[in-house]
Structure 1
Amino acid sequence: MRTRCIQHISLFIAAIALFIAADGLQAHKPVTSKFTYYEHIQPLFRFYCGGCHVSEGIAPMSLLTYKEAYPWAESIKEQLLADSMHPWYDDESFGIFTQGQRMTARQLDMIVDWATGGTPEGVQNPISSYPIQAVEWSLGMPDLLLSMPTPTLIDANSWEKTLDIILPTGLEEERWLTAIDLKPGYPGMVHNAIVYLTKNTSNLVPESNTDIPADQILGTWVPGQIGSMAEDTAYHLPANAQLTLRIYYRKTWRDEGIEQSDQSILGLYFASQPPQQTIHTLVLQQIQEIQEETDIIRMVQTFARDIVLNGIMPVMSSAGQSVRIEVETPDRKKIGMLRIVQYDQAWPIRYDFKEPVYVPRGSRIIITGTYRTEEQETTNSNETSHRMKVWVDYTL
């Protein structure tokens, strides 16, 4: 814990130093860019970055006004060029997903040109000054609201916490779930959430996401990324269903040494009538002892009937490096489903296909995960095995 605190303090000092240095250099930097913040750059920041980089959001700074954004221009450029600005690490050549919000090459070039060309401000207009709220229902008012029964406290000396909360739905009859959303009580530290149907009410808390005792993940939430089911598909919720809300809290330097609390609200969206297709889930899991410098976990499952893939959610233990998911058809043709080249355990995401994928009977799903053993000392020295769990959503 002491090491973690030192790391956060160092990051805070470095960030402030960068801010001051950038502010000082701004006055001496010639303006060569034809792109201005308010005309060209702010609309991109609002659309692509506003979920996190908003006042009191989970990111350490807002980018939604010129005064807030321009000191970070050089850092923004470096993050964009390294493709590490967002938690969306999938390879676009494999699958296209409903939640994915990627800038085009043209948009990236605009921001880089602005950042290196003097960061001109431009003229603010009424639309650009309209505030973005960090907390809102992105899909409209939910059909059912489930609030955390009591506030969660993160004490002054803690930086992060994972909490599993059981939420009774109180449903008097079965319903069909099409989407979930989360309204954080304190957006500044609600990092992500996973929602799943509770199998029992035991007090056993999963140590990691690979230990979640769920036959089906109903949804994942990260700021600014809201997924929903394909048309005419939904999850079945029985009467009196109980859900588990697994929230990961992580403070930024703004809350260093400060006790904070959160009482988030989960929103559920229902279909007005039973869907044409009910979503089922295949769960694949494997545990492998750490042996090599770079370990590989490989899982293969053959489908005994025609199915349609709707979404995939892979989770890996702390040394997870990358994951590749493909479907091999009976004629040996391989179709890329999902490839994550920089797996980050801090961002668990269910990837919902924008267009569901038909898979003929006799096809195999092939899942390959790579792990780095040298990371064990810096992540979790007690781990003796690599773990992978994958939820595959499909309809018949």
Structure 2
Amino acid sequence: MEEHIVIIGNGISGVTTARHIRKLSDKKITIISAETDHFFSRTALMYIYMGHMKYDMTKPYEDYFWKKNRIDLKRAFVETVDHANKQLQFADGSTMAYDKLVLAVGSKPNKFGWPGQDLEGVQGMYSKQDLDALEKNAPDNKACNRAVIVGGGLIGIEMAEMLRSRNIPVTFLVREDSFWNGVLPAGESGMINRHIKNHHIDLRLGTNLKEILSDENGRARAVVIQETGEELPCNVVGLTAGVSPNVDFLRDSGIELGRGIKVNRKLETNIPDIYAIGDCAEQHEGIGMRRPIEAVWYTGRMMGETLAQTICGNPLEYKPGHWFNSAKFLDIEYQTYGWVFGRPQEYEQQFHWIHEDDTKCITVSTHKDSGKFLGINTFGIRMRHEVFDKWLTEERSTDYVIEHLKEANFDPEFYKYFEQNIITAYQNQLQTT
């Protein structure tokens, strides 16, 4: 009888695992999801609300793909994992047996016990259900006269952009004294502060939510600011203060948990034949300077590719390589390669260049003693991942990287290039230090 691989979660990590197992074997594969029938691109959800795409356009594979590749799909909510009997129990009381289980259950928006956080009109922006709720809660600026977003991360700024696309006024509450300054160096964070305000978003830095007030129908009608006691009327409250692994249903399962599901470098849990990947997996052995949990699209994909090899008899350790990521702050594209810290480390020296139009900048991190290139952040200038990955592997100097920066540029032919300006600014900094 063929081995049955069951995957809970149809995001990028779970689906990548299924696809690669199928490439390597004839095992029976079932993907379970309570969110949607089919895999879709989570990062594209915002563009559905903004009118740039339809939901079907966010599905990378046609609906017939799954049957053609003999990957069974089940729409259900898993309530318990019975590892002793290798069985799942669903919310409707039915069960499913497995031989190997992959937990790719993703994340959920954080809630910090704010009074009123469960009112109608209060929501996150992570799932397809969240998108549907926003369409209902904020269809236009007549039904929603103001939205308040709580939390200054990437999801928060995406939600602000979504709402502004329908001319809904937005107040953005950020507890830090500058946007995302735990991640971005001061020059970059300051530029993004100004960019948010230039898009007519009411950015409130150093501001915390105290409570959400209800109307007579159990809907949000206002928020109260912690620092001032100000009552700010609104119809929608977006809770975007980060995400946490979606592991509550595993609390009594015997699977070892921390913040997420604890795994080793082979993505194995403490229970034989159970694995965890993606946003919910917590590395307890450590991988360089990486965080134990990484809610990043490409790492989920890489975990899926790695685990498929292990399940198909070729055990591999997860090796994500050099850190990189990308995002978008309204209309400014952001990329990061290697390590550039928001608060420079003792061994680190940062070079910062910003264009006079205040929408393009870079920050380069260098090891003070050796001159070795440690990483780069780029805003508004597209760069090639494979070039920086090569330079990091070769342990090039920052002098070399700046001199050859044009080789990494990925902007289209008719875009302006800024490398000479950057080289000049870098040389001027060297002369003054």
Shared fold per TM-score greater than 0.5: no
TM-score range, shorter chain: under 0.3
Name the structure with the higher strand share.
1
Higher relative contact order (CA 8 A, sep 6+): 1
Higher helix proportion (structure 1 or 2): 2
Q: TM-score, normalised by structure 2?
A: 0.24
TM-score w.r.t. the length of structure 1 is 0.26
| Bigger Rg over Cα | 2
